[in-house]
Amino acid sequence: MHKWCFGLLVLAVIAVAPCASMAAQQSEFKLSPGEWQMRQKTNAGVIRIIADDVDSTSFRAAAEVSSVLSGLEGLRVIPVVGRGSVSNINDLLFLKEIDLAVVQQDVLDQLRSTRAIPALERRVNYVTKLYNEEVHVLARNEIQDISALANRKVSFGPVGGGAAITATALFDKLRIPVEVTNDDADVALMKLKSGEIDAMVYVDGKPVRLFEQLTAKDGVHFLAVPYDRSLYRAYTPSSLTSADYPNLIGSGEKLETPAVGAILTVFNWKEDTARFKAIARFTDFFFARARFLAKPPRHPKWSEMNLSARIANWDRFRAADEALPRLAAISPDACTEPELRAAIQTFLKDSKVALPRTNALSEQDTSELTEKFKAWLKANPQYQ
């Protein structure tokens, strides 16, 4: 063997040896029984919600659901960044450990009508309609009407995204031919400001974080979009106002635009599966604490949520159907059973109260425990 070959071989062995040693060390490490139980317990309470990009209202909504629900009886809600409604449905069906997905209603309807995903209506249920998402058409200042976009470059968002499906249907109905580009929203906005494209379409619940910092100096503005009743049943008339975007829309000005429902969807699990039971438990807490989402500083879109609203031609998740009658029987200011269980459990853990080994509590013990619980509730208003 040549000396240089032998030298290379030695170097290769030296380079590989530490990796092999590390692999051996890692493979030899085992979780203790207590750590294994902790791992199982931690993962048992995890619910993952896939939404849109980090600037989207749907991702903020998922994060706010997490802040309101996480910690209740071991529940932990994790928001996941998605790539739009079509991708979110695919992830719900095929990506491991995605429990819920926020999807535009028009996308659901189109996937069903085109049979792009076989038997979708039997594989996917909805938990509730969350709110409406407005169509935002942002254009350069020299374009004063949506019809002036004819034969110009307009970004519809990523291929397969909800905005692309909505924009395609909308411009087809309006008979406005455009040169479509398919950039991510942040890239499209950069190209729009530089003049590389003439407009962009973005579908999300107003106000959208992506547009909140824009001003007239950026050389862009919103266009009114006429509402066409023949579009789809999924659309409703809406508007963009100065209250939504004070830096881009003048005081008292109102721009008409269509809106589409944002739907919280779930895979149609069998009732005897662990996934069904975990999502059912999430649904109970979500419905019970929905009123807290409608309070500041949460996103104003939560005020539009109607838990009892039905989505035409789609089946509701069975646990959600069962939760609605229980919710209707409770006054708005009452503490629900899931909330009470979670509050008591957390109170006992936080305060480290020593309960007697017997089931009997003396009158004095009961009185003291009640007073401590009241004081704890006052200090933890999220459980009230």
CATH number assigned to the domain comprising residue 159: 3.40.190.10
Last residue of a domain, one of 239, 262, 285: 262
In the predicted structure, residue 1 carries a pLDDT above the cut 50: no
Q: Are residues 172 and 237 in the same domain?
A: yes
Give the integer Cα–Cα distance in Å for 219 and 323.
49
Q: Are residues 254 and 269 in the same domain?
A: no
Reduced to 3 states (helix: H, G, I; strand: E, B; else coil), residue 127 is strand
The predicted-structure confidence for 105-125, as pLDDT tens digits, reads as follows 999 999 999 999 999 999 999
Q: Are residues 244 and 189 in the same domain?
A: yes
Q: Are residues 231 and 137 in the same domain?
A: yes
* pLDDT, mean of residues 349-362: 61
Decide if 232 is inside a domain. Answer: yes
* 8 Å CB contact between 293 and 302: yes
Range of the domain at 43: 36-131+263-328
Q: Are residues 242 and 142 in the same domain?
A: yes
Decide if 235 is inside a domain. Answer: yes
Strand segments, DSSP code E, in 196-253 are 199-204, 220-222, 235-241
Both tokens of 46, joined, read 């995890």
Decide if 8 is inside a domain. Answer: no
- Domains held by the chain: number: 3
Closest to 208 in 3D by CA, of 101, 61, 2 = 61
In the predicted structure, residue 60 carries a pLDDT above the cut 60: yes
Class of residue 374 by CB neighbours under 10 A (exposed 0-12, middle 13-18, buried 19+): exposed
Decide if 295 is inside a domain. Answer: yes
Q: Are residues 294 and 350 in the same domain?
A: no
The predicted-structure confidence for 302-348, as pLDDT tens digits, reads as follows 999 999 999 989 999 999 999 888 776 554 555 555 556 666 666 66
In the predicted structure, residue 97 carries a pLDDT above the cut 70: yes
Give the integer Cα–Cα distance in Å for 87 and 284.
27
Which long-range contacts (C-beta less than 8 Å, at least 24 apart) are formed by 276-279? 276/319, 278/44, 278/45, 278/47, 278/99, 279/47, 279/99, 279/100, 279/317, 279/319
Q: Are residues 338 and 321 in the same domain?
A: no
Decide if 151 is inside a domain. Answer: yes
Q: Are residues 113 and 69 in the same domain?
A: yes
Decide if 363 is inside a domain. Answer: no
What is the percent of the chain with per-residue pLDDT over 70, rounded to a whole number? 77
Helix (H) and strand (E) counts for the chain? 13, 10
pLDDT higher for 383 or 228? 228
Q: Are residues 320 and 212 in the same domain?
A: no
Both tokens of 259, joined, read 């809106």
Q: Are residues 125 and 268 in the same domain?
A: yes
From the CB of residue 360, how many other CB atoms can be counted at a distance below 10 Å?
A: 8
The predicted-structure confidence for 236-283, as pLDDT tens digits, reads as follows 999 999 999 999 999 999 999 999 999 999 999 999 999 999 999 999
Last residue of a domain, one of 242, 262, 282: 262
Record the pTM: 0.78
Among 13-17, 165-169, 309-313, 331-335, the least confident range: 13-17
Q: Are residues 42 and 157 in the same domain?
A: no
Decide if 127 is inside a domain. Answer: yes
Average pLDDT of the chain is 84
Decide if 87 is inside a domain. Answer: yes
Q: Are residues 315 and 345 in the same domain?
A: no
In the predicted structure, residue 55 carries a pLDDT above the cut 70: yes
